[in-house]
Copies of this chain bind each other. A is one copy, B any other.
Amino acid sequence: MRRTAKELDASVDGLVARCRAAGMNMTPQRLGIYRALLESYDHPSPEALYDRVRSQMPSISLATIYKTLDTLVELGFASELPSVGDTKRYDANMEHHHHLVCRSCNAVEDFEDEALSAVKAPRRLNGFQPEYVSIHVHGLCRRCSQAKA
């Protein structure tokens, strides 16, 4: 599930190209934030991402994190996830995937499964036009279920 160095570079190249095409600059901050998000597998909040990026780039500001996340979402390089609780959550995994949600620690892990990806929306949805289906499996993550035992 982790991205290889090659995939990571390809994603970054994609962003560079897309920014050029849109007449936007490529700044070290924008690059660092995107890289940090690509290297995060826990759907970080803006604050959490701020801490990670700051370790590489101490002068960065939280406002830049927020602005850049908005930009990445607009450009289609990240998405804001539905989340319970106090802060927003982001993900740079743009491929179709499903989620494992731990009811104890609220961690959300990505996973892929062909059978689940084959699930289709019902035909009759009273006027609603379905586009894609996402599936959340709720339960206890490995760590929490071991902790209970």
Binding site for B on A (CB under 8 A): 80-84, 88, 100-103, 109, 111, 113, 115-116, 119, 121-122, 125-142, 145-146
Further pairs besides A103-B131, A126-B142, A131-B139: 14, Cβ < 8 Å: A81-B82, A100-B128, A111-B125, A116-B122, A119-B135, A121-B139, A127-B145, A127-B146, A128-B137, A128-B139, A129-B145, A130-B137, A132-B139, A135-B135
Number of copies of this chain that the complex holds: 2
Q: Which of A100, A129, A133 has the most CB of B within 10 A?
A: A129
The chain B residue with its CB closest to the CB of A148 is: B129
Report 14 cross-chain contacts, Cβ distance below 8 Å, ordered by A residue: A82-B84, A82-B101, A103-B131, A113-B122, A116-B122, A125-B137, A127-B142, A127-B146, A128-B140, A128-B142, A129-B139, A131-B138, A131-B139, A132-B137
